[in-house]
Amino acid sequence: MGKEHRLPERRQQILEVVQDAGQLSVAELSAQFDVSEVTIRQDLQALSEQGFLLRTRGGALSVNTMPEFSFDVRQHQHAAQKAKIGQAAANLVSHGDTIFLDASTTVHAIIPYLKDYSELTVITNSLKAAISLLDAPQIQVILPGGSLRRESISLVDPMCDDFLRDINIQIGFFGARGVTGDEGLTDVNQNEVAMKRAMVERCRRVVGVLDSRKWGKIAAYTFANLEQIDTLITDNDPSDALVRQIRERHVEVILV
């Protein structure tokens, strides 16, 4: 992996550990990531300038936000959990279904497990998903038009009603930056959220796929409230209290 990938990966991991701990010192981060304190200070300064954490004397404080790194970087983060979630999600699909896949990396992890299905129609705004399905000619892939969004390698277009009007979708799979009982599924980019909201409205079953780090987190925009969500699939580490709260709201939670 090239240097240009190591830097954003390390900075994302720094944000995650600071977020989990609430506050960490430069010395603690230097020891944890096995880089110099000078390097850590540069990382913290860059992240602070982007508004993702607060610099303190000798360390950093979490502001409970996460930047959007490139798709390729995010795809390699927590890959084992995403693979388990993807397999469980694919088990909900039946031959002949029409499904929607959003452009998140967790939803992308479903694709390897879909290739054994026949007469499947996949609607997706993810160029990565479409390319990954090129070797599955039995699966029809439909891409909506729109503007290229480079961070997620996706097509986004809030004016997508004409494309969606006559499509019946059995299941829609959606990744998210966060889920809570009050805010539902949330994400950060307005254009991506607009696409997700439109698709949620047209899916008979809405399935959220997100690892346990996202539970209890809130991003800027809600695209599906709990009343719109049928199922959440996650790994086995979310808060028991939050899982119980969401199940009490009649949302199925599948732990893998």
H-helix or E-strand containing 26?
helix 26-33
Q: What is the pTM of this model?
A: 0.75
CB contact at 8 A, 167 and 140? no
- SS3 per-residue string spanning 143-186: CCCCEEECCCCEEECCCCHHHHCCCCEEEEEECCCEEECCCEEE
**Among candidate residues 156, 243, 150, 148, the one with its CA nearest the CA of residue 193:** 156
Q: CA-CA distance, 245 to 173, in Å (whole number)?
A: 22
What are the pLDDT tens digits along the chain (256 aa)? Answer: 445 457 888 998 998 898 788 789 999 999 999 999 999 999 998 888 766 777 888 888 776 555 566 666 666 677 899 999 999 999 999 999 999 999 999 999 999 999 999 999 999 999 999 999 999 999 999 998 888 998 889 998 755 566 677 788 999 999 999 999 989 999 988 889 999 999 999 999 999 999 998 998 887 789 999 999 999 999 999 999 999 999 999 999 999 9
Residue 126: DSSP 8-state: B
Cβ–Cβ < 8 Å for 113, 90: yes
